[in-house]
Amino acid sequence: MIPQEIIRRKRDGQELTGGEIAAFIEGLTRETVSEGQIAAFAMATFFRGMSRDEVIALTLAMRDSGDVLTWLDAGRPVVDKHSTGGVGDNVSLMLAPVVAACGLVVPMISGRGLGHTGGTLDKLQSIPGYDVMPGEAALRRVVGDVGCAIIGQTGDLAPADKRLYAIRDVTATVESVPLITASILSKKLAAGLESLVLDVKCGNGAFMASREDAEALARSLVDVANGAGVKTAALLTDMNEPLADAAGNAVEVANAVAFLRGEKAGTRLDEVTFALAAEMLVQAGKAPDRAAAEAQARRALESGAAADIFARMVHALGGPADFIERPTAYLAQAPVIRPVPAVASGFLAACETRDVGIAVLELGGGRKRPQDDIDHRVGFSDILPLGERVEKGVPFAFVHAADEAAAERALVRLQSAYTIAADAPASRPVILTRF
């Protein structure tokens, strides 16, 4: 098929056939379709949208552009979770070992930071020796031995997505719901999943700031994934403040270890992690309902089984054998750690969450360019949640920085990101709805 004819039909608002979409993605993968044609296709899709059937066809074509893993010998349900990204969102680090301890298999293909949001792979690379790109053979070995492995997307999984995304990134077409849907799901489907749970973030720290946009994305993801044959559900969760009480890389790993030790009970992070775990267990047929599933997941944490699986995963992928017992011996510490004092007395009433993520990036904890190195040591820790009372001059967080000047800049930015009011804000649910 002639690429420009496919582009013309989409430009004019016509529905593409599965064959047309498959042909275009094949040309994209083989590089017989030019970057200009890909950009034109992306822009036409951005403005004209796609039907459910078109997005399913696009997702499957991108999935099939490379290897598709199978787990016929797993003997247990194969599941995964995906988050659309936020600040202080380290849920994957705890969720994978929790559900693996409940008898699920979790080959979790994760990504790096994007914009103001943190990336699971960047966090894991805070752990000395941890190999985020071990290859398929090692992935299979670790998943078989441990029950879960959190790694990055290899070049053989959904390569069409890599090329299409790189062009979307520089042509202002990232925010297209059909293209976001196909990008996320093509990678997840290539991992050979039986079921998937999605955490779609909504709020001022999410890519989809408005509830309307976040719900549209959640519906698209659930409809397309189920249409492609993977049992899928989604939670819409609040991202109007950092999810964990830390934002950065090493500090979020330390936070995850504390969670696995049972030290983060009753937090928003706790609620989201176990809600996602419950969805995964119910979908996989391991529990009859969410209440029973959450109880099962909490037992996995309380018994130490989840922490043990996390420790074994870290060691199997090249990290220290005693990391869970001695994280501070291995996680590099920033040279400068300073308290962030409240500028007034009152209640933490609101947070510009995106600004917190940008502050981490400016500290060196994220990338301004794809080739940039990350300083895994930097970020914020001990961040108090909204609704907490603070006193002027008393810390509500700590900044971890490479030098005093960077610490001072980040301190001021974090202070300006938070509103302190005389009255406590109304409580806000962290889980907004389910799809």
Task: For residue 220, indicate whether it is catalytic.
Answer: no
What is the mean pLDDT of the segment spanning 102-122?
82
Task: For residue 183, indicate whether it is catalytic.
Answer: yes
CATH number of the domain that 196 lies in? 3.40.1030.10
According to the model, what pLDDT value does residue 165 have? 84
Task: Name the most confidently modeled range: 74-83, 365-374, 380-389.
Answer: 380-389
Choosing from 45, 65, 83, 186, the catalytic residue is 83
90 and 7 within one domain: no
Choosing from 59, 84, 117, 183, the catalytic residue is 183
Position 204 in a domain: yes
Q: Which residues contact 222 (CB under 8 A, 6 or more apart)?
A: 198, 232, 233, 234, 435
Choosing from 10, 112, 168, 264, the catalytic residue is 168
356 and 302 within one domain: no
Task: For residue 80, indicate whether it is catalytic.
Answer: yes
Choosing from 80, 89, 122, 238, the catalytic residue is 80
Task: For residue 82, indicate whether it is catalytic.
Answer: yes
Position 275 in a domain: yes
Residue where one domain finishes, among candidates 316, 343, 371: 316
Choosing from 63, 112, 163, 188, the catalytic residue is 188
**Domain region containing 31:** 3-49
Choosing from 65, 92, 120, 176, the catalytic residue is 120
Task: For residue 83, indicate whether it is catalytic.
Answer: yes
Q: Does residue 153 surpass a pLDDT of 80?
A: no
Mean pLDDT of the chain: 94
According to the model, what pLDDT value does residue 166 have? 81
Number of domains in the chain: 3
Q: Does residue 207 surpass a pLDDT of 90?
A: no
What pTM was estimated for this model as a whole?
Answer: 0.91
What is the mean pLDDT of the segment spanning 417-424?
97
Task: For residue 188, indicate whether it is catalytic.
Answer: yes
Choosing from 29, 59, 65, 81, the catalytic residue is 81
Residue where one domain finishes, among candidates 287, 316, 345: 316
pLDDT single digits (tens) 293-315: 999 999 999 999 999 999 999 99
Q: Does residue 169 surpass a pLDDT of 80?
A: no
Position 238 in a domain: yes
Position 223 in a domain: yes
233 and 143 within one domain: yes
Q: Does residue 235 surpass a pLDDT of 70?
A: yes
256 and 357 within one domain: no
Q: Does residue 115 surpass a pLDDT of 70?
A: no
